Structure 1
């Protein structure tokens, strides 16, 4: 029971973060990087679902 409420609150936080990031993109500030999912690979920097290629 406690575990389920914990998962629900975590999902709510994730949705809030995604909504805030989308709102930031709509306001024209560009994609907001999510530090938890940011990873560097050989191609470029991956921010969640958007990939930036180095110039």
Structure 2
């Protein structure tokens, strides 16, 4: 599990057909990571000025 003192759970999204949890880094609000049910990072999401880049 991500450290709740450093990251905030912001919801869920679908990545490659799998529903994953999305956590945002508190010190860098434009950066988030997606965790599968086994807590593996399956995607990194970077949002700048409303545009989103997803690294799988």
TM-score, structure 1 as length reference: 0.31
Q: Which structure is higher in strand share? A: 2
Higher relative contact order (CA 8 A, sep 6+): 2
* Greater Rg over alpha carbons, structure: 1
